[in-house]
Amino acid sequence: MDAVSGLAQRGARIAAISIVVAGLLVAGLSQVAFGAEPGFGKLFLNGQVVGTVVPPAQVAPGSGRDPFYKVTNGVSGQLGVAGVGPGGPGYHGGDWQVFTVTFNKAPYLLTSGSAVAAAEARGDVTVTRHPEQDFRCPITSTAVG
């Protein structure tokens, strides 16, 4: 009877621990799901600084459709560069397709998709696609300075 009683007590302890662990997991997941706040930022669009909002949701790698240029070794004050924006042809709401831009020469400020393309054509930069970095970040305002 002592062996059976010991097994029953051990089973009850394991069940209690399992319930506590499950409760902590649920509490943690709900904190992530319900406590997530969007972030706000800035980027360049056609030579102007515009506002953005970063929702807490992720996007599937490779699913971005709007070109976004992330300068890896730019000058001070360099922001990310949007290739398209609200009202422009081909804008999908900030569903960003990420490209890194790396200067091969002395860096200078890039403030538009056309400036990135021109720098690439001159050989000043190397532009590389990174589908694993795609993200969603709608442009929320224009000319925020």
Total domain count for the chain?
2
The answer on 26 and 2 residing in a single domain is yes
The answer on 71 and 31 residing in a single domain is no
Query: What pLDDT digit, counting tens, does each position of 72-86 carry?
Result: 999 999 999 999 999
The answer on 128 and 94 residing in a single domain is yes
> 69: which residues sit within 8 A by CB, 6+ positions away?
80, 81, 82, 83, 99, 100, 101, 110, 113, 116, 127
- Supply the range of the domain harboring residue 10: 1-35
What pLDDT, on the 0 to 100 scale, is given for residue 81? 98
Nearest of 46, 60, 142, 140 to residue 96 by alpha carbon: 60
Nearest of 57, 47, 35 to residue 138 by alpha carbon: 57
Residues 64/99, Cβ–Cβ less than 8 Å: no
The answer on 81 and 18 residing in a single domain is no
The answer on 111 and 66 residing in a single domain is yes
Q: Span 137-141, mean pLDDT? A: 86
The answer on 31 and 82 residing in a single domain is no
Residue type, 43: L
The answer on 125 and 55 residing in a single domain is yes
What pLDDT, on the 0 to 100 scale, is given for residue 40? 82
Q: Following DSSP, what letter does each residue of 79-101 receive, concatenated?
A: --EES--TTSTT--SSEEEEEEE
The answer on 45 and 17 residing in a single domain is no
pTM for the full predicted model: 0.70
The answer on 26 and 56 residing in a single domain is no
